[in-house]
Amino acid sequence: PWSDKWEGPESPPIWLQAVVKKKLAIDAWLDTVERGQTLASPVYPSSMFNPSVFLNALRQQTARQSKVAVDELKLVCQWGDSARSSVGALP
């Protein structure tokens, strides 16, 4: 039977539900982008993709563009009013 060849999760319906949920989240996010309201509401990256995979890809791309070793990069986050004054500024 086909189940002998299946390499996915043990419960395909649960996996399919997760795929549909991610598709709907991406569609909703694209809708906000098209309306020019990208940052008008919170964005939950985990509802669209695996955040650690995204951050690693961002790290690799930044390293390539900056021509530095990936190991030299450090992710820095800042929240609150002080973050607004330093957007785009590097320490």
The residue behind tokens 């949920």 is 21
Q: Is the predicted pLDDT of residue 91 greater than 50, yes or no?
A: no
Q: Which of 86, 88, 87, 90 is nearest to 74 (CA)?
A: 90
Q: Which tokens go with 42? A: 């919170």
What distance in Å separates the CA atoms of residue 51 and residue 75, rounded to the nearest whole number?
13
Mean per-residue pLDDT of the chain: 81
In tens, the pLDDT along 25-64 reads 999 999 999 999 988 888 888 888 888 888 899 999 999 9
Q: Is the predicted pLDDT of residue 85 greater than 60, yes or no?
A: no
Provide the H-helix boundaries in 1-91.
12-34, 51-66, 81-85
- Who contacts 37 (Cβ-Cβ below 8 Å, separation ≥6)? none
